[in-house]
Each structure stands twice: as C-alpha cells, then as structure tokens.
Amino acid sequence: QVQLVESGGGLVPAGGSLTLSCAASGDTFDDYAMAWFRQAPGMKREFVAAVSGGNGANKYYMDSLKGRFTVSRNNAVNTVSLQMNLLKPEDTAVYYCAASHYGDGVMPVLSYTTSYMAWGQGTQVTVSS
C-alpha cells in the first residue's frame, strides 16, 4: 500500500505562485496514476489534475484550471508536483494528493474520487485578495 505526504502549501497573495509536492512511499510508484484534488470549506472534494502512470505522458486538468496549473511526476524520487500560477482567492482549499491503480486511466475515470485507493493528509493553500 502506498503512503502519500503532501507539502508546499501556505499563504500567498492573489496572482502569486505555489508548488505543491507529494512524496510517495511503500509500493511501486511508477504503476500508479497520480492526482491532485482540493476541498474548500463546505464544498465537495473536486478534481484538480492527474498524470498517468509510467512516464506520465498523459495529463488531465479541470477545465477552468488549464493554463494556470501544471502537474508532473518524477519517478526517480517518487514524487508528484502541482505548479500553481496566477492564484486566485477561489483556489483556497485543502489540496490532496491521491494514487490510483488505473495507471492507464483516462478521463472521466481519473476525475472520480472513487478511482483512488490512497490519499495524503492534505496541505492548506490560502490565497489572499
């Protein structure tokens, strides 16, 4: 079973940038599709971005985030990252890293929380206006 630990959250002014990282341990990282979700207070957890297993050739994003967020993976050090640019107050949420057995999965499967069998504890991102 893979274990996931997120880092990199914090407080940033609107228009700023943050990079979140997720360190994985305990299993074969390369096989998993990896994703980022977020959850704002009182809201459902929502899909942010995903990267396929293996060399991470396929990447998927919530439509409204395309062009601002970039997901990537580094199998050599078992990490997945989320680069977030031009942040807005509505990006404020707890961001979660997740791992899926559907390494070759595609959308919309990779956007479902039920497609993921392991989750990190989350990292808070707060964007001030």
47-85: pLDDT as tens digits: 999 999 999 999 999 999 989 999 999 999 999 999 999
Q: Is the pLDDT of residue 26 over 80?
A: no
What's the confidence (pLDDT) of residue 109?
Answer: 92
Say which residue the tokens 């943050």 belong to: 18
Closest listed residue to residue 24, CA positions, set 75, 78, 71: 78
Q: Is the pLDDT of residue 17 over 80?
A: yes
What's the confidence (pLDDT) of residue 59?
Answer: 97
76-114: pLDDT as tens digits: 999 999 999 999 999 999 999 999 998 888 899 999 999
- With vertex at residue 80, the alpha carbon angle to CA 54 and CA 40, rounded to the nearest 5 degrees, is 130
Q: What percent of the chain has pLDDT over 70?
A: 99
5 pLDDT tier (thresholds 50, 70, 90) = very high
What's the confidence (pLDDT) of residue 103?
Answer: 85
Q: Dig out the tokens for 66 from the structure.
A: 């395309």
Cα 61 from chain centroid (whole Å): 10
- With vertex at residue 2, the alpha carbon angle to CA 74 and CA 105, rounded to the nearest 5 degrees, is 65
Residue 51: Cβ within 10 Å count: 24
Buried b (16+ CB within 10 A) or exposed e, 60-94: bbbeebeeebbbebebeebbbbbebeebeeebbbb
22 against 105, higher pLDDT: 22
